[in-house]
Structure 1
Amino acid sequence: MWAKLLDRFLTEMMVEDRLTITYPDGNTRDYGPDSGAHVHLAVTDEETLRALIVNPDLGLGEAYMDERIVPRNCTLEDALTVIIRNRFQGGLPPWLLMANRARFHMRRFIQKNAPKASRQNVAHHYDISDDLYRLFLDEDMQYSCAYFRDDDMTLEQAQIAKKAHIANKLRIEPGMRVLDIGCGWGGMALTLARDYGCDVTGITLSANQLDTAQKRADAEGLSDRIHFNLQDYRHTSGTFDRIVSVGMLEHVGVPNFDTYFGRVAELLDPDGIALIHTIGRSAPPMAHSSWINKYIFPGGYVPSLSELAPAMERSGLWQSDIEIWRLHYAKTIRHWRDRFDANVAEIEAMHDARFVRMFRYYLTVCILSFEHQMQAVYHFQLAHQRNAVPLTRDYLHPRDATAKPAATAPKRDKQHA
């Protein structure tokens, strides 16, 4: 039964490339035209056939982790590229379309992300082990999209360029009070305090990240300028000249977008500037990956611009600039995966071979989502005042990409609109 259903599914789906499946009984079947790429997957048991029919996203990921699906004469990336490309070109059977619609409409319940649940979700991924992340991230432990101003940049150079670009957008001046929402291991906060002379408050829900960030601040003699807290953005008080949030909005969840942007507006000084860096979809919303939600980022969600815009509008903040980075994250994760693969033996010793396959699958799926799907990184520059930043983007591109922005305080806009 399950083999027949999968046969029907793949016959409809494969329209651009050739997929060969070796079934558990040893029979082999080809799907798709004899053109394009050709990949071969071996399925080892009947239960995997059922899983691929009931929930292909979850079933494929789990089967790869457990070696119940094995690529033959191709890489994991080769196979996933063909599957993703044809998934959106060919048709899906009615039962999968209905299941996807159901998961999409359930997202408001799945992603409530109350403070206690948010802390548990963050711990699931970020509190695994700092030693793991040190093996594939850059020296500053930036776990977000880098900015490749030049194709030949190293990962370290591109992450430095990312932080400089964000600092330019924030119009940073010495002595400013900065809130870093989702501060990670402290890299952005350390940069703003050390290189720009700011007083930074960093908040995170990860105990591991908090401990590492505090140790880094102590080691650099910056404890008087940086204060890290284990705190939810919903519980933060005070006002700040600048707010930065890099790679945190993806953990907020659809039901909390109004709360998130409302808090940014409340915490931001009347003359302040905020910069929100987030993954987003340049297409209508869709159901989140059930495999990613189960194994990598519980409660996470990649929002479409159409889902974020209403919440930004209701916050009363000006959208003073919106920038879209397209392939930068794919390049970033390729660097991460190369470093991950170079340290596989050490990572497997820390965890096990199944963990290695899980993490490689995660990195590969993410690369392909930026290369073959409508996924990008958004920069939302927000302010209470329409003239909080210059009227052209010239200030963002100084001759020296690492140069600090000119310390010119904008005039306050007395008229509210």
Structure 2
Amino acid sequence: MALPSGERVCFGDGSQPKVAIRLADQRSVLGLMTDPDLQLGELFMDGRLIVEEGTIFDFLQVVLQDAKETRPSLTVQALDRVRFALRRFAQRNGLTRARTNVAHHYNLNADLYSLFLDPDWQYSCAYFEDEQTDLAQAQLAKKRHIAAKLLIEPQHRILDIGCGWGGLACYLADIAGAEHVTGITLSEEQLGLAQKRADVRGLSDRVSFELMDYRAAKGQFDKIVSVGMFEHVGIDFYDTFFGTCRKLIKDDGVMLLHFIGNSDVPDFTNPWIERYIFPGGHIPSLSEVMPSIERSGLVVTDIEILRLHYARTLRAWRERFMARREEALRIYDERFCRMWEFYLAFSEAAFRFQDIAIFQIQLAPRQENVPLTRDYIARIEAALRERECADTVVPAEMGARDQAALLRSNALTHERSP
């Protein structure tokens, strides 16, 4: 590490990855020492922390892979205690604030997301069934895995809470065969594109999308699914979330909740992520979630933990983004591109080297709503693979390259199916 004075400080034993950074000014040194959780990302965004050898991910790996063995300074410990004490205030996601927080991230220019997401625009953890699986195949496998756990039948009506750009909702109707899927989102940008995608796929009569908070949802549904939305609910609203889901789901229904979770004790949200990427967001521990589930009247019927799947997903996103960084620079400015690179690199490092994972919790009003053993998942997935190959979904708005990627993904998946 090169200091502003010209002095160089070396750490580690010289093993890989080898990284060299330079701090541009003395204030950078002070900021990194007193508040690294916030300042590291800000310094990289502002060009005051310069990576001269390696990448920002390499640097984060060096910092985080042995972080548990390093005791932070008393100043940092005190700041951590303050942030933990104030975390509920930062997550007061009432109706107005929840929509504002969602708009901060999900109403960005859609062209940005097209640079790094898979052809179906799945913006959540993929499911890598083997080492050869690519991003498009893994995102298709994720949808298939979720659909299998929902135990969908032709007469079922489904609620998708936090539906993103509509890819999962379309899959549940078109491939899994649900009678109707209602997707709700707080992002106007996602809503418009989701509606367009359902229309061009000829699914408008079976898939609908609404700009709606989960607290305003009405009706009764056979199945409820929520992927990557629960992180935005906020601790003080967990009872409301699960209580609302219990009111919306039929007594013989099944729910699948897919979210980023903390495998360690409860903690505060990283302040850089909270300020620049996901305001109002929180990565909960199971100990924070389970009491609200128990109070809601829902029964936990299955929990699966996808440990390194999101690290692989984020690696693919980061590589795709960096390969098209010049295009991102034409959409936003250099500081934004640095911010996005740090976000993807930091998130990957957290999943790879810290106690962050994906939890899939299956819930039901009654424990008998789900089969006694988990072998039904593989059976349903096999059937869904056959349907995917018989009726390959290729959105009309895709470019030729993305259409080819999705077709190739489905063909390869079919070759590997039992």
2:126/2:313 contact within 8 Å kept: yes
**C-alpha offsets along residues 317-375 of structure 1, whole Å, 9 cap, x if unaligned?**
11000110001011111111111111111111111121111111100111111110011
Q: Among 116, 126, 136, which residue is 1:146 paired with?
A: 126
Aligned match for 2:279, one of 298, 307, 315: 298
- The aligned counterpart of 1:252 is 233
Residue 7 of structure 1 corresponds to which residue in structure 2? none
Equivalent in the alignment of 2:114: 134
User: What residue number does 1:118 align with?
Assistant: 98
The answer to whether the 8 Å contact 1:183/1:203 transfers is yes
Residue 331 (structure 2) aligns with: 350
Amino acid at match of 1:109: F
State the alpha-carbon separation in 1 of the partners of residues 214 and 236 from structure 2.
15
Q: 2: distance between equivalents of 1:287 and 1:253?
A: 11
Pair 1:341 & 2:316 matched = no
Pick aligned residue for 1:162 from 124, 127, 142: 142
| Cα separation, 1, equivalents of 2:17 and 2:114 | 35
Amino acid at match of 1:94: L
1:37 Cα deviation (Å)? 5.0
- Residues 82-110 of structure 1, C-alpha deviations (whole Å, 9 max, x = no match): 11124321111111111111101211111
Q: Which amino acid aligns with 1:253?
A: G
Q: Report deviation, 1:139.
A: 0.9
- Give 1:2-41 correspondences, 5 Å limit: 21-32=1-12, 38-41=18-21
Measure the CA separation in 1 of the matches of 2:303 and 2:227: 15
Report the CA distance between 1:35 and its aligned residue. Answer: 6.0
The 1:37/1:185 distance shift into structure 2, 3 A limit, reads closer
The TM-score, its normalising length taken from structure 2, stands at: 0.89
The residue correspondences of 1:12-411 to structure 2 (distance < 5 A) are 21-32=1-12, 38-198=18-178, 199-398=180-379, 401=382, 403=384
Q: Matched residue of 1:397: which SS?
A: helix
Secondary structure at 2:369 match in 1: coil
The list of structure 1 runs, each at least 4 consecutive aligned residues, that deviate by more than 4 angstroms after superposition, is 32-38
- 1:161–1:401 Cα contact (<8 Å) kept: no
Please give the secondary structure, in 2, of the residue aligned with 1:284. Answer: coil
Summarize deviations over 1:286-312 as a string: whole Å, max 9, x none.
Answer: 121100011110111111111111111
Structure 2: runs of 5+ lacking an equivalent: 387-418
Structure 1 range deviating more: 41-50 or 366-375:
41-50
- Cα deviation 1:61-102 (Å, max 9, x = unaligned): 010111101122222111111111243211111111111111
**Cα separation, 2, equivalents of 1:89 and 1:258:** 36
Instruction: Compare the two structures and name the one with the higher helix fraction.
Output: 2
Distance 2:300 2:30 in 1: 47
Deviation at 1:29, TM superposition (A): 2.1
The 2-side partners of 1:196 and 1:37 are apart by 44
**TM-score, length-normalised on structure 1?**
0.89
- Which AA in structure 1 matches 2:155? G
When residues 316 and 404 of structure 1 are mapped into structure 2, their CA distance, relative to the original with a 3 A threshold, is: farther
384-393 or 68-77, which deviates more: 68-77
Query: What is the deviation of 1:383?
Result: 0.3
Question: In 1, distance between residues paired with 2:49 and 2:65?
Answer: 19
AA matched with 1:252: V
Distance 1:290 1:400, change over 3 A: closer
**Relative contact order (alpha carbons < 8 A, sep ≥ 6): 1 or 2 greater?**
2
Q: Deviations over 1:17-65 (max 9, x none)?
A: xxxx211121222345566754322111122122223321111101011
Instruction: Pick closer, same or farther for the CA change 1:399–1:379 going to 2, 3 Å.
Output: closer
- Distance of 2:381 and 2:65 partners within structure 1: 40
Residue aligned with 2:39, SS = helix
Amino acid at match of 1:282: S
**RMSD (Å) for aligned C-alpha atoms:** 1.6
Aligned residues: 385
Residue in 1 that maps onto 2:406: none
Overall identity of the aligned pairs, in %: 49
Mapped partners of 2:304, 2:377: distance in 1: 12
Residue aligned with 1:29, SS: coil
| SS state at 1:285 partner | coil
Say if 1:36 and 1:162 are closer, same or farther in 2 by CA, change over 3 A: closer
Q: Which amino acid aligns with 2:109?
A: S
Relative to structure 1, is the Cα distance of residues 271 and 371 closer, same or farther in structure 2, using a 3 angstrom cutoff?
Answer: same
Q: Secondary structure at the match of 1:28?
A: coil
Q: Is the 8 A contact 1:165 1:401 kept in 2?
A: no
Q: For the Cα contact (< 8 Å) 2:258–2:361, is it kept in 1?
A: yes
Structure 1: 5+ residue runs without aligned partners? 1-20, 406-417
